[in-house]
Amino acid sequence: MPIVVVVGGQWGDEGKGRIVDLLARKAKVVARYSAGNNAGHTIVNERGEFKLNLVPAGIFYPEKTCVIGNGVAVDPGVLLGEIEGLQAKGIDTSKLVLSDRAQLVMPWHIALDKLDEASRGATAIGTTGKGIGPCFVDKVARRGIRVADLLRPEDLIPRMKNSLDYANRVITGVYGGEPIDFDSCYQAYHDYGLRLSPYIADVQGVVFDAHRRGEYVLLEGAQGSLLDLDHGTYPFVTSSVPSSSSGGAAIGVGIGPTDIQRVVGVFKSYCTRVGNGPFPTELFDDVAATLRDHGKEFGRGEYGTTTGRPRRIGWLDAVAARYSVRFNGLSALALTRLDVLDNMPTIKICTGYELDGKIISSFPSRESTLERIKPIYEELPGWMTPTTEVRTFDDLPPQARAFIKRVEELLECPVDLISVGPSREQAVIVNPIF
Ligand code: GDP
Ligand code: IMO
Ligand code: MG
C-alpha cells in the first residue's frame, strides 16, 4: 500500500492540514516529518476548528497512529499544551507517538531567534520567533538535545550544560543579551520528560511496519517548498533539516525514498507569503485586501495561524509553482481555497517573468533577480458564483473548470483534489489519491 507525502507547494499555509485531515480517512499512520511549531495547520471537521502546530492532522481519527518524526524540532512545552488542549476538547491522543530521535527546542533557541532577527534590522527574515532556526543550527552543529535525552538525567544534564554554555556565550558576547539560567531550564525539561514519556518511542519501526503490513501511511509536510533551505528563496527560507519539501519526508520518519509512492502538492488557487523575501506576484491593491479578508468575519482571513501576521497576497505564480512541482516530484496537485476566487470578475495567473527586456520561464535562484523580475500575466474570466457547495468536477462553473485545466497545463501535473471550503466535506475529489 502506498506511502503518500503531502507537501506545501508555495510559501506555506496552502491548506496542508485540511488536506491531510481529509486524506487521513484511509491511512493507518499519519506522520509529521519536519519543522516545528513554526507550522500552524488548521483543521475544520465535525469536532470543531483546530490549529495544530506539532501534532499530525490525523489525530481526529481515534484509530490512527499519529507520529511526530525524528525530523521534527519539538518544543516540549508547546507539545504538551497542544495535547492537553486536544484532550480538553475530547480528542483521544493515546495513539500519538513522539520520536526519541527528534530534536528539542530549548529556551535559548527562542532567545537566539529573536536576538538574531533584531540584529539583522532591515534584512530580517521575518521568522515566527519560535526558535526553530537556532534549534536546527544546533542539530547540524551536533550540539542539539534530543527527546531521548529527556528520559535520562545523566544524558540531559551534561548535554544541556554544553548547549547552554555555548548559547550563553553567543547571547552575551555577540548580542549583549542576558544569559539564561541552567537550573530553571533543567527543572522544566526534566518535568516535560516525565509528562511526555508515555508518548516517546522509536518511530522508525512504527512507520516501516505499517507499510510492510500493507497499510496506508500519510507523511505530513510543513511549510512550503519555496521556503526550502536548498530550493527556496534563500536566505528568506526556513531552516528545517531534513527539508520540508518531499525530499525530506523519508529522512524525517526513517524510511527510504523507494518506500514513497506518491507526492501530493498543496497549492492555493492564488498565492500568499508571511515573513520577508521575494514574492514576484505580490499585490498591494484592492484585490489583495479582498482576498485577504475573505472569511475574516469568521476568523478565516489570510492572517498567520501561528503568529496572526497578515499574509502577503498575490496571484498564482505558475513559474514558481512548476519549479516546485519539479523538485518535489509531484504526482498530483490539491488546489485549495478555490472558493476565495468566487467573487473575482477576472483571475490572473503568472505564466512567465520579464527580466531586463527578456522573457524567462524558469525560477531564478538569486534573491536580487527575483526582486527585479516583472510577472507576465494571463487573464481568465472569473465565475462569479459560489462553489462552496460543489462536490463534483462537472458541477463546477465552466470558468472554474477552465481555470483548473489551465493550472494543470502550466504546472504540468494533474489536479486530483479541489478544496472549496475549510471543512472536511468541502472537497471535489477528481481522482482518489489513495
Ligand atoms: P497549512 O499551514 O498549509 O495547514 O494552512 P493553514 O491552516 O495555515 O492556512 C490555511 C487556511 O485556509 C486555514 O484557515 C484553513 O481553514 C483554510 N482553508 C483550507 N482550505 C480551504 C478552502 O478550500 N477554502 C477556504 N475558504 N478556506 C480553506
Ligand atoms: P505551515 O506549515 C508559512 C516562514 C516564516 C518566515 C520563514 C522563516 O503552517 O505552512 P522560521 O520561524 O521558520 O525560521 O521562519 O518561514 N514560515 C512559514 N510561513 N507557513 C509556515 O508553516 C511557516 N513556517 C515558517 O514566516 O518567513
Ligand atoms: Mg499554516
The DSSP letter of residue 355 is E
Non-local CB neighbours of 405 within 8 Å, separated by 6+ positions: none
Is 13 an annotated catalytic residue? yes
Q: What is the C-alpha to C-alpha distance for residues 352 and 402, in angstroms, rounded to an integer?
A: 19
- CA 227–ligand 3 middle distance (angstroms): 13
Question: For ligand 1, which residues put their CB under 6 angstroms from it?
Answer: 8, 12-18, 40-42, 44, 295, 300, 305, 336-337, 339-340, 419-422
Non-local CB neighbours of 345 within 8 Å, separated by 6+ positions: 381, 382, 384
Is 109 an annotated catalytic residue? no
- CA 157–ligand 2 middle distance (angstroms): 31
The DSSP letter of residue 311 is P
Going residue by residue through the chain (434 aa), what tens digit of pLDDT does each one get?
789 999 999 999 999 999 999 999 999 999 999 999 999 999 999 999 999 999 999 999 999 999 999 999 999 999 999 999 999 999 999 999 999 999 999 999 999 999 999 999 999 999 999 999 999 999 999 999 999 999 999 999 999 999 999 999 999 999 999 999 999 999 999 999 999 999 999 998 999 999 999 999 999 999 999 999 999 999 999 999 999 999 999 999 999 999 999 999 999 999 999 999 999 999 999 999 999 999 888 878 999 877 888 999 999 999 999 999 999 999 999 999 999 999 999 999 999 999 999 999 999 999 999 999 999 999 999 999 999 999 999 999 999 999 999 999 999 999 999 999 999 999 999 999 88
Confirm whether pTM is higher than 0.85.
yes
* Sequence letter at residue 129: G
* Sequence letter at residue 399: Q
- CA 128–ligand 3 middle distance (angstroms): 11
Q: Is there an atom of ligand 2 within 6 Å of 227 CB?
A: yes
Q: 3-class SS at 257?
A: helix
Q: 3-class SS at 427?
A: strand
- The residue annotated as part of the active site, out of 21, 41, 109, 416, is 41
**Using CA atoms in the order 300, 292, 9, 212, what is the torsion angle rounded to 10 degrees?**
0
CB of 131 closer than 8 Å to CB of 110: yes
Q: What is the C-alpha to C-alpha distance for residues 355 and 369, in angstroms, rounded to an integer?
A: 8
Q: 3-class SS at 297?
A: helix
